[in-house]
Structure 1
Amino acid sequence: MPNAYWHAPGTIEQLNHLERPGFAIEFLRRNPAYRRDYARVRRQITHDRVEAETALASLARRWGLRFRA
C-alpha cells in the first residue's frame, strides 16, 4: 500500500482486514519517526559504525519489535 493513500477509503478497508502484525508493519512504515530511526541505523551499519546485530536489536527494543529469521 502506498503511503500517499493512508486515508483513502480503499486503504482503510484493506487495513481493517489485516492481522495485528500486518497492521503494525503498515503503521511503522508510515511513521516518520520510525522511518528516520531505521534510516539512521541502516546508515550506521552501512558505514561500519556499529555492528548490525547490536544496532538492529537496539532498534527493535526502542520500537517494541521482534525480528525473525
Structure 2
Amino acid sequence: MAERPDWNSPRFLDIARGLDLPALAQEFLCLNDAYQTGYRAAMADISAPVQSRRERLATFARPWGLRFPCRPGDPQLDTAGSVG
C-alpha cells in the first residue's frame, strides 16, 4: 500500500479538498490501523474459494458500514485485488 501523507499536514488538507465524499471517506479509512489490519486479514488467503473470500469481505465490511458490490466472476475479487 502506498504511503499516505500525514493527515495533520497542509499537503493532506490540499489533497482532501479535491476529493469527493466517498474518496475522502476512503482516505480516512486508509489511515485507520484497525481498518487496515482487518482488510489485510480479510484478503489474506488468496487460495480460498471465491465464495469464501466474498463472505470474509462482507463480514469485514459490515462494521465499517461498507459494501463492496461485486458481480459473479469479478476479477478484482477472483484474485487478491485491492478494494481497501
> When the two structures are superposed, what TM-score results if normalisation uses the length of structure 2?
0.66
Q: Tell me, which stretches of 5 or more residues in structure 2 are unaligned?
A: 71-84
Residues 4-63 of structure 1, C-alpha deviation per residue, up to 9 Å, x if partnerless? 4322202112202311100111011111000011111112x3353981110011111121
- Per the alignment, residue 38 of structure 1 pairs with 39
RMSD across aligned positions (CA): 2.3
Identical aligned pairs, as a percentage?
Answer: 31
- Per the alignment, residue 28 of structure 1 pairs with 29
Identify the structure with bigger relative contact order (alpha carbons < 8 Å, sequence gap 6+): 2
Q: How many pairs align? A: 68
- Per the alignment, residue 48 of structure 2 pairs with 48
1:66 offset after TM fit, Å? 1.6
Matched position secondary structure for 1:48:
coil
Rounded Cα–Cα distance in structure 2 between residues aligned with 1:42 and 1:13? 31
